[in-house]
Structure formats: structure tokens, C-alpha cells
Chain A
Amino acid sequence: MQTVLKKPSSPTLLGKSSTSPIDQRKRKEVKVHVRKKVAIFYIGGAGDKRKFVPLPEFIAGPFRNILDAKSQVDLRTIEIRKKKLLVDFWRGYYEIFGEKNIEKNVIQYIPDKSVPIIIIGHSLGGWNGAHLSSILSKKGYSVEMLVTLDPVGQGNIVSATSDIYNEVPTPIAKYWINILANPKADNFSDFIADFGEQWNIKSGPQINSTVDVNHADAGIMFRLPISEKKSALDLVHKKILELTK
């Protein structure tokens, strides 16, 4: 919440000021709340926004995993959207890799540095999204929240062949939620996550949770309770409400 001081306009009649002593008293400074617009970046992983390898779509996607998380936020933010206090963007992990891409695909879409930013990334999008949080923060942007949904990227082969950063991320965000997928029954997507190697985070996030969900199911990870019966969706929604109050 930003507070600015603004003087009320004084009424005039035929170009003459009609300020009486009473009017002048009324012209005391009043507080006006300026609501902030929030920007959310949804960062998809391999096979989310585009195919991850040049193979048929049933193997390589795109599967649009992160949009399942977005659709849940959309449902809860109708009122905020209609007040034009929220903008969101869907990006592939490759679209936020490197300075030029970040400038072209991220920074260009943030109105100014005071705009609070929420980054929600899945798989390789969680890995690059975590890097994005530190890059933006170091540039002076306000990364309010980072949500990493089963981030992947520690594997040497994936690192060498994909547009992801080699280094393990050191996120900079005011609040970081990490969710690790550890399903009792693996499916195909978990093999892919194994190939890319899950990012095994020991410390850093305010919430670091493990859920019995397959790697592909970003939307389910996002809505399952992870802390005090609250889901990442609940916490993101709460943060959006706080920021746009």
C-alpha cells in the first residue's frame, strides 16, 4: 500500500477563488491510498508452453501445466482484475533465460519498479524462475513472492542442453514457497523430472513442503494444503489481497 498526500481541489466561481476561512480549513492535507498493481509471472517448464524436444506432441507437449495453477488464481481474482490491479504473464523457462530475454519478455511488461511481483514456476520454470527472482531483485524490482513447484534443473545433461542456468539458484524474494513432488506411484512425468533432476532444497524457503503428487500436476501441487491447512494458492491469493488492498 502506497500513501500519498493530496490536497483537495477548491471550488471556484467565475474564475475567482471562493475560499473562505472555512474552505481553507477544509484544504488540510488528506491521505489518499493508491492501490498497487500486481504482476504475476507464470513460468512453465519443459513441454509446458512449447515442445521440449522435436518429437510428436503426445511425448513432447506442450501440456500447459502451469496454466492449471493460473486458472485457480483467475477464479479468485475477478474483482481485482476488473479494477485493473492485476496483470499476469505466461512464459516458458526459455523465455526468461539470459539478460536479453528477461529484458524483452519480463522487464518490458512491468510498469515500474514499485510494482510487486509474484513468480510461480514449475519444473525448469521453477529453476529459472528462482534465478529470475534474484536477477529482478538485484535490479531493484520488488519480488514479493516466489513459488517453485517441483523445480528441476540439477541434471548435467539437461543443464547442458536446455536454456537453463548452470548454477544452483539463490532466490531473492520476500516470501518463498517450495513444493517438492514425491509421489507414491510414479508416472511418465516423474521420469522426466528424474532426468532433469529435482532441485533438492534444504534451506531458504519460508515453506518447504513435500506432497504426494506427480511431477506434471502443477495445479494440484498448487492447491494442496502445505502449511496450517493453507495451500500455495491460498497464500498467493492472500498476498494479492494484501498488495492490492
Chain B
Amino acid sequence: MKKLTILLAAFSLLGCTNPPPQANLKFTGIQRNGNHIEIEFSSDVNLNTLFSENRTQRQVLSELICSLNGDTNFDFEHRLEFFSNGRVMNNEISSTNQHSFKSTLLFWRAPKNELDSDVMLTNEEVARIISKQNTIPCLYRTTVYLARPYYTQKMHVPTNQLLKIIESGTSQD
């Protein structure tokens, strides 16, 4: 009964909880680390403490996700056919207003049958898919209990820089 009371209290508090501000992301660089491709970006909101500074919930799934073929629907419920994603790690804090992050990207094709395994794209496939675009859109998104999924604003990653990095190595081939 005590736990039920706490649960009901938690639900009632939800109405008073404002979502964290939608962060603006800025692409700052891309590099190769062995067979990994790391993307670096900054945010005007600390993405690691979105729900933990004045809230008590930890983010569950946090990822940087990029669409490779022009589809800009990043809703968790929507499956991107060609996408790249990666876990987001803290980088050094560059200033008080900007928080720096990096993410190791993997490149995927989602099969039509959603029960099938995602297929890792080869370098050639990635290059072919992104080559006709100047930039690809990426954003950070996360799920958390007692809050709606969180999405930042989109940032745009220059395709030429990504292509250069892809072509410089043998990652995923």
C-alpha cells in the first residue's frame, strides 16, 4: 500500500514537471579511431543530466542517431531504413555554456521485416547512400521513465567530411 501511495504521488507530480529544454547541437568534428568512426559535437544542454539534476530518473536508452537517406522522422516509433547510431559519451567540457560529446557511429539498414536482424552497411553502401546529400541530419534522443522521449534539435553533419573519413579506412568492410 505504501508503494502504491508513492506511485500515485509520483504520477500526480508529473503534471508539475517540465520537460528539459530541447538542446541545440553543433557538429564539431569527425575522426577515425581504429575501425571506429567517432563523431564529435557540442550541446547547449548537458545531455547526461537531462533528467537527473532536479529529477530522479536516469536515462535508459541514449543515442545519437543519423538518417542516411533523407528521412527526417526521428521518432522512436518510426523505423529509419538507412541509419547510423551510436552511444553518446562525455567528452571534455569545453565551456560553461557548451557541453562536448562524442559518439562512435555504426551504419545500418533496417530490413522491411522488423523482426529481422539489422544489417551492417559496408563503406561502399554508406558512401553510395549519402553521396547525393550535402549533409545528413542527426540528433540525440533518449528514453526515461516518467517522462516522454526526449529529442534534441537536429544537427547537420557535412557529408564530404564523413565520406573522407569512411574512405580513409576499412571500417565495416
A-side residues, CB < 8 A to B, are: 56-59, 61-65, 67-68, 71-72, 74-75, 78-79, 81-82, 87-89, 91, 105, 109, 185, 187-189, 191, 194-195, 214, 216-217, 219
Contact = CB atoms under 8 A, between A and B. Distances in A.
Given A64-B76, A71-B85, A194-B3, A78 B35 contact: yes
B171 A57 contact: no
A217 B60 contact: yes
Chain A interface helix/strand/loop/mixed? helix
Contacts of A61: 143
Given A63-B145, A78-B171, A87-B117, A71 B57 contact: no
A62 B106 contact: no
B170 to A, nearest CB: 9
B7 interface: yes
A57 B85 CA distance: 23
Contact of A65 (B35, B61, B117): B61
Nearest to A61: B143
Interface residues of B, number: 36
6 A-B pairs with least C-beta separation: A64-B61, A87-B117, A63-B143, A63-B60, A188-B145, A81-B120
Contacts of A59: 11, 146
B7 A89 contact: no
Contacts of A72: 87
B60 A109 contact: no
A187 B122 CA distance: 41
Contacts of B132: none
Given A71-B85, A191-B3, A62 B145 contact: no
B75 to A, nearest CB: 11
A61 B146 CA distance: 9
Contact of A105 (B115, B147, B171): B115
B61 A68 contact: yes
Given A59-B11, A71-B63, A87-B117, A78 B172 contact: yes
Given A75-B104, A109-B115, A216-B58, A82 B145 contact: no
B149 A57 contact: yes
B63 A189 contact: no
